[in-house]
Amino acid sequence: MVGSGIAGLTYALEAAAQGTVCILTKSLAEDTSTRWAQGGIAAVIHPDDRFECHVEDTLTAGDGVCHRDAVEVLVHEGPQAIKSLVEWGVQFTRVGGRKSAYDLHREGGHGTARILHARDLTGAEIERALLEAVRNHPSIRLVENRLALELVTPHFLVGKRAEDPLACHGVYALDPESGLIETYLAGATILCTGGVGQVYQHTTNPNIATGDGIAMAWRAGARIANMEFIQFHPTMLYDPARPSFLISEAVRGEGAILRDSRGVAFMENEHPLKDLAPRDIVARAIDRRMKELGDPCVYLDLSALHHGEARKKFPTIHARCLESGLRMEKDLIPVVPSAHYLCGGIDTDLNGQTSIPGLYAVGECAHTGVHGANRLASNSLLEAVVFAKREEVIIRHELDSVRRLMWDYVGIVRCTDRLLRARRQLRSLLVEVEDFYKQTVITPSLLELRNIARTASLIVECALRRKESRGLHSTLDFPEHAPDASRDTLLRHRV
């Protein structure tokens, strides 16, 4: 299994009851997107909430592209997923003592408060508990600092015959310290490699989110779906002098209001849910307002919170804002949209099976159909649980080129001309990267560049195929929904 976020660790703990599990992770086990998740995990646990409401909220946010059967699985199995997390040691915030009710937040797109959280460090708490359980399990082996290189498929095997069926038998991985390539064979290979945020210049994702699993699966011949649906989180703290930092949607759920540089609460006329509208709507409204006024950011106004509430409810965000000289309850907090989450990925069925026998995908790298054209806030962690240096200057230059290209041409609002330009430049760059890959020493940076370039190309191809605006995919050339386009955008690489 490749990946040590919530999806990988959950799968490992479940599978270890039936046999041995080996987890490969490209850095330290704690270095995952899961660890940075602030808001929480959505589930129907309050007696006044209903499964049908969570389903409908998810379908509405997904803008007609969700697979209803996958959404039903997600929602109905959500409470059991929460129970499992608690049994593994996750401590969600409660209203009072240890046996009191959970403190539930409300986030954008949700009709009610159903977000369990651990203050504003939910992901870190989940990662802590699951890693502790994994490290204490006798049937799980955790191998850190291994970069998955390729999937072991018939075209790599000695003695392959032309009639051998396509199947996955494990992974090849690089040990960056020794420079050796290791082979890990397995009856079932599970990709839990997370997202693709590093494809973009501005992202809330950690440095490891380079599309590795998706690119490997594509090269092996797996079916890929809906890569055009990239979710931009509306509110990343705008502080060019420091690393990116997410301001959780739960802050708006507690009453924070978005304002432009003139003080106008611009979400009032954008959507009935105003500042708690689905993320695609909020991100586009912010993008539009910034362009109209020529501003680098908009602002979050938290003055509606009572004194001391921000520090109590969001201690991590409060501390980070102080580092930037901002007091959450008195100062306007500058924010901008930032690439955040991939709603497409390696196409799977409801059991995580990809189009390649023996290969499974879970978590953000997988396309289960749950998120459709736009992920509902805090459904991602739930999905993961439920569906269980000579060349360095050249590489860095090429990597920056891909990110700038994606940010400029394949961002929040798109058009066919810019997408075609991106396609031409990426095709040329992919040829250069592949030549470089074959002729030089393999390094972690080169592997990530190769995967980022391929993942960026898949995003562009999916975006070009969808001749409409829907959910997270907004194009000036096709501003309306197409009547027959609520289907998935599927790509397949012939090997």
Strand partners, 445: none
- HEC-encoded secondary structure of the chain: CECCCHHHHHHHHHHCCCCCEEEECCCCCCCCCHHHCCCCEECCCCCCCCHHHHHHHHHHHCCCCCCHHHHHHHHHCHHHHHHHHHHCCCCCCECCCCCCCECCECCCCCCCCCEECCCCCHHHHHHHHHHHHHHCCCCEEEECCCEEEEECCHHHCCCCCCCCCCCCCEEEEEECCCCEEEEEECCCEEECCCCCHHHCCCECCCCCCCCHHHHHHHHHCCEEECCCCEEEEEEEECCCCCCCCECCCHHHHCCCEEECCCCCCHHHHCCCCHHHCCHHHHHHHHHHHHHHHCCCCEEEECCCCCCCHHHHHCHHHHHHHHHCCCCCCCCCEEEEEEEEEECCEEECCCCCECCCCCEEECHHHEECCCCCCCCCCCCHHHHHHHCCCCCHHHHHHHHHHHHHHHHHHCCCEECHHHHHHHHHHHHHHHHHHHHHHHHCCCCHHHHHHHHHHHHHHHHHHHHHHCCCCECCEEECCCCCCCCCCCCCCEEECCC
Measured between alpha carbons, how far is 455 from 446 in angstroms, rounded to an integer? 14
Q: Give phi and psi for 75, each to the nearest 5.
A: -75, -45
Measured between alpha carbons, how far is 35 from 33 in angstroms, rounded to an integer? 5
Q: Give phi and psi for 15, each to the nearest 5.
A: -70, -25
The residues, any chain, with a CB within 8 Å of residue 437's CB and separated by 6 or more, are: 446, 450
Nearest residue to 6 (alpha-carbon basis) of 334, 385, 485: 385
> Which tokens sit at 427?
């095709």
Catalytic residue among 106, 119, 146, 279: 279
Measured between alpha carbons, how far is 206 from 12 in angstroms, rounded to an integer? 22
128 given a catalytic annotation = no
Q: Are residues 361 and 213 in contact, defined by beta-carbon separation less than 8 angstroms? A: yes
Active site (catalytic) residues: 279
